[in-house]
Amino acid sequence: MIKKLSFIFCSILAISTNQVFAEQMDELSIISDSVILMDSQSNAVLYSKNEHERMYPASLTKIATAIYAIETAKIDEMVKVSGEAIEVEGTRVYLNEGEEVPLKKLIQGMLINSGNDAAAAIALHMDGSMEKYEIDINEFLKEKIGVKDTHFTNPHGLFDENHYTTAYDLGLITNYALKNETFKDIFGTKELPWDGQSWDTTLYTHHLLLKGEIPFEGISGGKTGFVNESRQTLATTASNGQIELTVIGLGATYKRDIYNDTINLLSYGFSKFKTSTVPLNTAFQNESDKFVLTEPLYITEPLVGAAVMDVTNEGELAVFDSMNNEIQTISLTKYKQKSVEEKSSVIGETTSSDNSMPIMKKAITIGLGFVFIGAIVRIWKRRMLIKG
C-alpha cells in the first residue's frame, strides 16, 4: 500500500537519495551521445540521455585520479618523477626525470592543464606501477564511491578499449570528489603560476565556461577531455545559490555542441529545482516501520510548487512534483528502527530472567546436596551413640 504525503520542507519526514528520472519532463535538444545532469549534493538525476552506456571518458579520468590521490596520500608529500612518467603522450606540464614535485602541484597540473605526465607521475608514485594502479584505482572507485560500470586502466584517459565508464558513474565520482575541499578548490581554479624545472608559465584552465570565454553565471569547476575515440568530453559544476549542479557530457563531435548541451542542461536545472537539507533525527513511519535519520541529508525539490511523496511498506519513497513527474527515488532501509519484537529477541539473549534459570537450578542442587549430607551425618552420630 502506498501513502501520498504533501511535501512541505518543515514537515519532511525522511530522505536518502539514490536517483531521479527526468527524461519524461521537458524535452531538451541534446546532441552529445551521453549526458547527465545531477544535483551535486543529493546525487539526484535531473536529466539524462544514455547515462548508463559505456563510453570512453578521455581526460575526465583525471577527476578520479585526483580524488584517489588526495584521499590516499598526503597532499604535501614530494613525488620524484620517473622516466616512465615523462614518456607519456599528449598534453603535459613538461616534467623532467628526477624532478621532485609536491603531490598537490602535480594534481593542479593534471586538472588545470590536463598534464598527462603529471597524471602518470601521480599513479607511479602512489602504486609503483601502472598495473598496480589499475587494480587500486578500480577498487577505490567501487568501494568508496559505488560505481558499477567503470574500469580504468590508466590515470590520464588515453585510449584503451578496456578503459571505460558511464555518464552516471562519472557524475557519482565528481560529486564524491566535490565533498573534498582540496579537490573542489583545484577543480575550480582558473589560472595558476607554474614554476617547473623546465617550464615557467601560467596555467589556464582549458574549460571555456570556467575560464569565462563562454559566459555563464555560476560556473564553479570543470574538466575537459578529448581523444579521437572519445571525441569531446566535458565535466562542469555550477551553483546559483539554491542548487549545485553537475553536468557530464560524453561523445560530442564538436566543442560547440558539448558546451551548448552543458548550458542547456544547467539552465534547465536552475529553472526547475532547488536543494533542501533534511535535518538529523527527522523521522517518518509507514504502516509497519519507523525510519529515523542518523545524519542530515540533501533532497532535491521542485523550484515551484510543493512536492508529493509516495511511501511503500518496503521502505521505498519517491518524490514527485505537483504534475506527478517523478523527481527522485529514495531508499530508507538503512534508517529503519528495530521493532519491539526485534528488540525483545535481542534483549532476551542477555536478560537476567533467562540467565538466572541455570544459576537457580545449580543453587537448588547444591542446597539439596548439603541437606542430604547433613542427614547422613546425623544418622551416623546416632548409631555411634547407641553403640557407645
Residue among 144, 211, 216, 214 at smallest CA distance from 179:
144
Of the residues 62, 105, 223, 274, only one is catalytic, namely: 62
Of the residues 40, 114, 230, 276, only one is catalytic, namely: 114
DSSP assignment of 55-87, as one string? B--GGGHHHHHHHHHHHHS-TT-EEEPPHHHHT
Q: Which residue's entry shows cell 564511491?
A: 145
Q: Is 62 a catalytic residue?
A: yes
Q: Is 114 a catalytic residue?
A: yes
DSSP assignment of 286-329, as one string? -SS-EEE-SS-EEEEEESSS-EEEEEETTSEEEEE-TT--EEEE
Of the residues 32, 40, 59, 239, only one is catalytic, namely: 59
Which uninterrupted H or E stretch holds 286?
none
* C-alpha grid cell, residue 251: 561523445
- Contact of 294 with 16, CB cutoff 8 Å: no
| CA 310/CA 300 separation, integer angstroms | 15
Annotated catalytic residues are 59, 62, 114
